[in-house]
Amino acid sequence: MKPALKLTIPSDRMERLHYVKRIFPDARGDDLKGEWAGGRSNALAKLNNVDAVAYGRNRNFLNGSVTHLSPYLRYGCLTLNETFAAIKGKFGLTAENLLMQLAWRDYWRQVWFTRGNAIYSEMEPPKVALGYARLTDAVRQGETGLPCMDAFIGDLLGTGYVHNHARMWLASYIVHHLKIDWREAADWFEAHLLDGDIASNHLSWQWVASTFSSKPYYFNKENLARYTGENYCADCTAVCPFDASYETLQARLFTQPASADAKRYPLKPLPMNAASMHKAVAVYVHDEMLSPNNSVLNQPFPKIFVFDPQLHGDWPLNRLQFVMDCLSEMMHVEVWVGDTYDVLLQRNVGELITQATPNARVKQALTPFLTKWQPVDKLVDAEMSDKRLQRFSRYWDKAAPLLLGT
C-alpha cells in the first residue's frame, strides 16, 4: 500500500476533475457529466427544481419529471428528512407519490440497519426458480443485442444514472430471462451507479428476484414500449423476448419448481488492525455525510475524510469526482488518500465521533478506535424487527399517517 497522502482540493471545477484523474489513475469509466456536479449547493438547486405534481403523473415514463436527487441523498448532501419536509412543505399532499418514493429509500435503509450483512444474501426463499449463471460479458458491455437493454447498460456505464423503470426492466431481464445470479448482477450494477447504495440496490434486486417480495417482477413489451415512448421498439429488429402476454411470459420464464431454501453469500472477512493507543479525538467523515451542514461536523475536533482503497477502491471515476465536488464545499475537512488506519494513527487519533451507518466495512475500518456513533436521520421510527414489516406496503401503512397526517 502507498503511504497516505493529504490532498489539497482545487477550487476550480475543471481543475478538480483532472486532479481526481491524476490521484486515481486506475479509476474506470467516464468523467462525471456536468448535470451531475456534486455538492450541497447543486443538491439544493435540484431540490428547488422538483416538480412533484408532474412527477406524480409521469414518473414511470423514461422522459418523466424525475428528480435526479439520488446521488445527493446517497452521499448525504441532503438529508432524507429535510428533502421530505421541503417537498411536503411546497406541494402538500399533491406530492404524495414522490413522498412515498422517498419513503422507499428510508425503508431499504432501515432494513439494512436492522439486518446488516444479511441483505447480501437471499432474505427469503425465492418464490420462483432462479438461475445462478455467471454474469456475461455481453451484459457487462451492453452487447446483449436488445437495443433497449443495451441502451440502459449504456446509461449505466456512461453516466452512472439509470431511470428507476429501466433499472427494474434490466434487473428483471438479467435475473428472469438470462437466469443470472442476482447477487453477482447486483454487485456489478451497484459498482457502476453514481448513486450506488447497498440497501436500495441489493434489496431492489431481491425485490425483482422475489427473495424479498411475494412474487417476481417481470414485464412485457407493451409495458416497455409505453413507458419508453416506443423509443427502442419502433425500429427494433431483434427477436423480442418480452413480446407476449403476462400469462405466456409466466409460463415461459418459470418452468422449474422454486427452491425451498434461501441462498447465502458469505462475505470475505476484512483484515483487522490492533486497537489504537493514541488519545486525540477526531470526527471521521464517511461517504454518507458529505454536507457542510452535517451536525456531526459541529464538534470542535479535526475532521478527517479518507479515500481508502478498502472502502472506495472499486469506485468509478465519476463517483470519485462527485465526492470530490462535495468535499470541496467542506472547508474544514482534511481529505486524505490511503489506509484509514494509517491516516488516523498518523494524526494520533484514538477516539472518533461519526454518524451511524449500517455499512459493515466502515464499521470494521473504525474498530481499532473508540467510536461514538451519532444517530442518523430516518423518516419514521419503525419496529423493523417486526416480521410484518418485511414488506414496504406494511411499513407504508404505518408510516403514511405519521408522515402525511392522513
Binding residues (CB under 6 A) for ligand FAD: these are 59, 66-70, 73-74, 101-102, 104-105, 108, 163-164, 167-168, 171, 190, 193, 195-197, 200-201, 204-205
Name beta bridge partners: 374.
355
Task: Single out the residue of 121, 147, 118, 149 nearest to residue 136, CA to CA.
Answer: 149
What is the Cα–Cα distance from 203 to 207, expressed in whole angstroms? 6
Rounded to a whole number of angstroms, the minimum distance from the CB of residue 363 to ligand FAD is: 20
Q: Kindly tell me which of 205 and 396 has the beta carbon lying closer to ligand FAD.
A: 205
What is the Cα–Cα distance from 318 to 321, expressed in whole angstroms? 5
First to last CA, the chain: 55
Q: Kindly tell me which of 186 and 281 has the beta carbon lying closer to ligand FAD.
A: 186
Q: What angle do CA 24, 40, 310 make, to 5 degrees?
A: 35
Rounded to a whole number of angstroms, the minimum distance from the CB of residue 156 to ligand FAD is: 10
Rounded to a whole number of angstroms, the minimum distance from the CB of residue 190 to ligand FAD is: 5
Rounded to a whole number of angstroms, the minimum distance from the CB of residue 26 to ligand FAD is: 22
Query: What radius of gyration, in Å, describes the C-alpha atoms of the chain?
Result: 22
Rounded to a whole number of angstroms, the minimum distance from the CB of residue 24 to ligand FAD is: 21
Q: Kindly tell me which of 21 and 57 has the beta carbon lying closer to ligand FAD.
A: 57
Q: Kindly tell me which of 9 and 168 has the beta carbon lying closer to ligand FAD.
A: 168
Q: Kindly tell me which of 194 and 335 has the beta carbon lying closer to ligand FAD.
A: 194
Lookup: cell for 41: 449547493
Rounded to a whole number of angstroms, the minimum distance from the CB of residue 51 to ligand FAD is: 10
Rounded to a whole number of angstroms, the minimum distance from the CB of residue 107 to ligand FAD is: 8
Rounded to a whole number of angstroms, the minimum distance from the CB of residue 142 to ligand FAD is: 16
Rounded to a whole number of angstroms, the minimum distance from the CB of residue 214 to ligand FAD is: 17
Q: Kindly tell me which of 73 and 345 has the beta carbon lying closer to ligand FAD.
A: 73
Q: Kindly tell me which of 166 and 317 has the beta carbon lying closer to ligand FAD.
A: 166
Lookup: cell for 371: 467510536
Rounded to a whole number of angstroms, the minimum distance from the CB of residue 168 to ligand FAD is: 4
Q: Kindly tell me which of 105 and 303 has the beta carbon lying closer to ligand FAD.
A: 105
Please identify which residue in the block is written with the cell numbers 424479498.
212
Q: Kindly tell me which of 120 and 369 has the beta carbon lying closer to ligand FAD.
A: 120
Q: Kindly tell me which of 56 and 368 has the beta carbon lying closer to ligand FAD.
A: 56
Please identify which residue in the block is written with the cell numbers 459493515.
360
Rounded to a whole number of angstroms, the minimum distance from the CB of residue 165 to ligand FAD is: 8
Integer angstrom CA distances of residue 364 from 143, 307, 341, 367:
38, 15, 10, 5
Q: Kindly tell me which of 52 and 304 has the beta carbon lying closer to ligand FAD.
A: 52
